[in-house]
Each structure stands twice: as C-alpha cells, then as structure tokens.
C-alpha cells in the first residue's frame, strides 16, 4: 500500500504536460496529463522495474492504448486525441487514473495556432501554483476500492477486443470504446454486447 501511495505521488508530480483532445475554430480543448520524461524521473525512485508501453488502436481517429506497470500492478488506459501523440498522453493519463490519481474533471479551452499549437502558458502558471499544496493531499489519498465485477467486465471486453482485431474489425470496435469501458457494470455489459454484435455482424 505504501509503495502504491508513493506511485500515486510520483504520477501526480508528473502532471506537467497538456494534451489536445480536439480543435475547433482556433480553440483547443486541452487536458492535464503526465509528461513521459517527468514520469520516468519520478517513478524510477519508486520502482526501478516500472514499465510503460503503448499500442495504436486507430490512426484515424487517433486512438492509443497505454499499459503502465508500477510496483507489480498493471493498469491500462485507452484514449483519443487531436494527434497520435495527444492520444498517447491521454491514454497514459487514463492508465494513471486507474492507479487512483485524481485528474481534472473538465478540460480547458485555450487558443490554438496550427504552427505553435495550444497556448497553455496561463494554465501552466496556474498548475504550478496549485501543485505545492496538493502534493501532500494526494500522497495521503487511500487507494480507491476496486470493484471485482468491473475488473472482470474490463477483462472480458479486452478479450473480445483481441478477437475483433484478429477478425479485422478493430476499427469498428475502437469507435465503440472511444467512450471508455463504462462506469458501471451495466454500462460495461452494454458495451460488451455492442462489441459482440460487431463480431457476429
């Protein structure tokens, strides 16, 4: 438990990057995500054997899966983004969330320039100001209780996803999973049924 508390603190400390979820009319919706370089620096102190890998589920739209292992615990995240790199960062944030890392509930809208990207200067300053007092609070957060049924449902969905990929239907499955695996067992069952229909169709 202590190691996972330290892992969550390391994950929180790495929340220094912004990923673009979407772009509309010169505005970008951005979300705070772990920066891989900072993540490596902080996690190395907690677990020298930590591991992170990515898999691209779809190029258009960009959908990436992140698999993060810390202290012998593995969590997967799945996300989309404006670019593959944005999707990669969002997937990492999703995986970090399953370690109990609280993430911002709402994304922020900022100015976007096609050449310079999203202007997150004001958000960076705000994040730095908020980082110091929140560090101790996050370190004290208990590991959230995990629902065995949700874990089982997620595994079933992942197994079915592998079957769909093998059948050449990974793209259709990815579109269903863009909204995640479901927040409740009922939602997960609904997603599983949708994927089953794709496999049979």
- pLDDT, greater one: 24 or 172: 24
In a 13 Å sphere around the CA of 29, the CA atoms on its Cβ side amount to: 13
Average pLDDT over residues 162-188: 79
How far apart CA 72 and CA 56 sit, in angstroms, is 24
Q: Are 92 and 36 in contact (CB under 8 A)?
A: yes
Give the global pTM: 0.65
- Residue where the block lists tokens 């404006």: 82
How far apart CA 182 and CA 121 sit, in angstroms, is 34
Token pair recorded at residue 125? 């300053």
pLDDT of residue 163: 87
How far apart CA 148 and CA 82 sit, in angstroms, is 33
pLDDT of residue 2: 59
Classify residue 103 as exposed, middle or buried by CB count within 10 Å of its CB (0-12, 13-18, 19+): middle
Task: Give the tens place of pLDDT for each residue, 123-154.
Answer: 877 666 554 444 444 444 444 455 678 778 88
Average pLDDT over residues 40-63: 91
How far apart CA 81 and CA 63 sit, in angstroms, is 7
pLDDT of residue 128: 61
pLDDT of residue 123: 82
Q: Is the pLDDT of residue 76 over 80?
A: yes
Which residues have CB under 8 Å from 194's CB, separation 6+?
A: 176
pLDDT of residue 141: 42
- Residue where the block lists tokens 């997150």: 120
Q: Is the pLDDT of residue 108 over 60?
A: yes
pLDDT of residue 142: 46
Q: Is the pLDDT of residue 60 over 80?
A: yes
Sequence spans of domains, the chain:
2-139, 148-200
Among residues 4, 15, 2, the alpha carbon closest in space to that of 99 is found at 4
| Percent of the chain surpassing pLDDT 70 | 85
The CATH fold of domain 2-139: Double Stranded RNA Binding Domain (3.30.160)
How far apart CA 64 and CA 33 sit, in angstroms, is 14
pLDDT of residue 102: 75
Among residues 14, 23, 73, 16, the alpha carbon closest in space to that of 45 is found at 14
DSSP codes, 74-128: EEEEEEE-SSHHHHHHHHHHHHHHTTT----SS-EEEEEETTTEE--HHHHHHHH
Which residues have CB under 8 Å from 127's CB, separation 6+?
A: 15, 16, 32
- pLDDT, greater one: 69 or 164: 69
Q: Is the pLDDT of residue 27 over 90?
A: yes
């Amino acid at each position: 438990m202590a190691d996972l508390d330290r892992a969550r603190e390391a994950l929180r400390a790495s929340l220094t990057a912004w990923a673009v979820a979407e772009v509309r009319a010169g505005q970008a919706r951005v979300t705070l995500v772990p920066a891989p370089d900072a993540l490596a620096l902080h996690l190395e102190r907690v677990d020298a054997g930590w591991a992170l890998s990515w898999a691209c589920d779809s190029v258009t739209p960009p959908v990436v899966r992140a698999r993060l292992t810390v202290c012998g615990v593995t969590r997967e995240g799945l996300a989309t983004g404006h670019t593959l790199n944005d999707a990669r960062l969002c997937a990492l944030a999703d995986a970090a969330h399953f370690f109990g890392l609280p993430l911002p509930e709402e994304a922020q809208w900022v100015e976007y320039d096609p050449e310079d990207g999203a202007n997150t200067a004001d958000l960076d300053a705000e994040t730095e100001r908020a980082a110091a007092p929140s560090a101790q609070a996050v370190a004290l957060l208990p590991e959230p209780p995990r629902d065995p049924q949700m874990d089982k449902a997620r595994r079933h969905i992942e197994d079915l996803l592998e079957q769909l990929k093998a059948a050449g239907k990974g793209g259709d499955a990815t579109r269903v999973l863009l909204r995640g695996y479901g927040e409740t067992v009922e939602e997960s069952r609904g997603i599983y049924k949708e994927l089953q229909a794709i496999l049979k169709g």
